[in-house]
């Protein structure tokens, strides 16, 4: 089962708003599109540096990921969510990860 791992940088004062947007808007639209929520975690805001927010989703295979992407494009909520989180972030990455044989 592959994973989509979004690692987004936000300023410390925007972390709560970013996490709230993921929970209240991203979670419903992504899960209804077919993705499975795995986790959300942050680095510490105590160092005065930008905070990384990591959000992990899983899916069965890339055929399913293409269906998820299609569902997102057709859902107007996706655009509102994307606009909200884009205003809060300063950078980030999206990577696809694949478990290795000895990993759960």
What is residue 2's DSSP assignment? -
Percentage with pLDDT > 90 across the chain: 89
What number of helices (H) and strands (E) belong to the chain? Answer: 4, 4
> pTM here?
0.91
Token pair listed for 28: 């419903």
* Per-residue confidence band for 87, with pLDDT thresholds at 50, 70 and 90: very high
Q: Give the pLDDT of residue 101.
A: 85
Q: Tell whether the model's pLDDT for residue 104 goes beyond 80.
A: no
Q: Tell whether the model's pLDDT for residue 68 goes beyond 90.
A: yes
Comparing 24-33, 41-50, 81-90, the range with the smallest average pLDDT is 41-50
Q: In whole angstroms, what is the distance from residue 84 CA to residue 39 CA?
A: 20
């Amino acid at each position: 089962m592959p994973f989509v791992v979004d690692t987004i940088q936000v300023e410390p004062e925007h972390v709560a708003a970013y996490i709230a947007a993921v929970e209240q808007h991203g979670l419903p639209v992504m899960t209804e599109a077919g993705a499975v929520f795995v986790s959300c975690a942050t680095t510490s805001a105590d160092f005065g540096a930008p905070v990384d927010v990591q959000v992990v989703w899983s899916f069965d295979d890339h055929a399913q990921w293409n269906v998820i992407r299609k569902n997102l494009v057709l859902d107007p909520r996706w655009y509102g969510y994307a606009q909200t989180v884009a205003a809060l972030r300063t950078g980030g990455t999206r990577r696809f990860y694949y478990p290795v044989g000895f990993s759960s």
